[in-house]
Amino acid sequence: MMLADSASRGEPVTPIAGGTDVMVSWHHRAKDKLTLLDLSRVRELAVMEWTGVGDGASLTLGGLTTYWDVMQSREAAAAYPLLAEAARQVGAVQIQTRGTWAGNVGNGSPAADGVPVLMAYDATVTLASVRGRREVRLDEYFTGYRKSVRAADELIVAIRLPPPTWGVQWFHKVGARRAQAITKVGVAMVRRAVVSGQMSVTRGHAIPAPSASRRSAVVGERASGAPDAAGSWRVVANSVAPTVVRCRMLESALDSGRIFTRPDEIESLLAGDISPIDDMRSTAVYRRRVLARLIYHRLAQSA
Ligand X SMILES: Cc1cc2nc3c(=O)[nH]c(=O)nc-3n(C[C@H](O)[C@H](O)[C@H](O)COP(=O)(O)OP(=O)(O)OC[C@H]3O[C@@H](n4cnc5c(N)ncnc54)[C@H](O)[C@@H]3O)c2cc1C
Contact footprint for other proteins (CB under 8 A) = 16, 18-20, 23-24, 26-27, 29-36, 38, 40, 68, 88, 91-95, 97-98, 177-180, 210-213
Distance separating the N- and C-terminal Cα atoms of the chain: 53
Q: Please tell me the distance from the alpha carbon of residue 130 to that of residue 132, in angstroms, as a whole number.
A: 5
Which positions ≥6 away from 266 have C-beta within 8 Å?
250, 260, 292, 295, 296
Q: Which is closer to ligand X, CB of 178 or CB of 203? A: 178
Q: Which is closer to ligand X, CB of 3 or CB of 190? A: 3
Q: Please tell me the distance from the alpha carbon of residue 108 to that of residue 22, in angstroms, as a whole number.
A: 12
Interacting span for ligand X (CB under 6 A) from 11-19, 49-57, 241-249, 256-264: 11-19
Identify any residues that bridge with 189 across adjacent strands, giving them in sequence order.
170, 235
Q: Which is closer to ligand X, CB of 3 or CB of 254? A: 3
Amino acid identity of 45? L
Q: Which of 106, 164, 167, 225 binds ligand X (CB under 6 A)?
A: 106
Q: Is 38 exposed, middle or buried (0-12, 13-18, 19+ CB in 10 A)?
A: exposed
Decide if residue 42 touches ligand X (CB under 6 A). no
- Of these partners, ligand X, other proteins, none, which one is at the site of residue 103 (CB under 5 to 8 Å by kind)? ligand X
Q: Is 262 exposed, middle or buried (0-12, 13-18, 19+ CB in 10 A)?
A: exposed
- Of these partners, ligand X, other proteins, none, which one is at the site of residue 107 (CB under 5 to 8 Å by kind)? ligand X
- Of these partners, other proteins, ligand X, none, which one is at the site of residue 63 (CB under 5 to 8 Å by kind)? ligand X
Q: Please tell me the distance from the alpha carbon of residue 119 to that of residue 124, in angstroms, as a whole number.
A: 8
Interacting span for ligand X (CB under 6 A) from 68-76, 96-104, 158-166, 187-195: 96-104
Interacting span for ligand X (CB under 6 A) from 68-76, 112-120, 192-200, 251-259: 112-120
Nearest to 164 by CA among 46, 54, 70, 302: 54
Q: Which is closer to ligand X, CB of 102 or CB of 237? A: 102
Over its C-alpha atoms, the chain yields an Rg (Å, rounded) of: 19
Q: Report in angstroms how near the CB of residue 129 gets to ligand X at its nearest.
A: 11
Site for ligand X, rule CB under 6 A = 14-22, 24, 39, 63, 90-91, 95, 98-100, 102-104, 106-107, 112-114, 155-156, 180
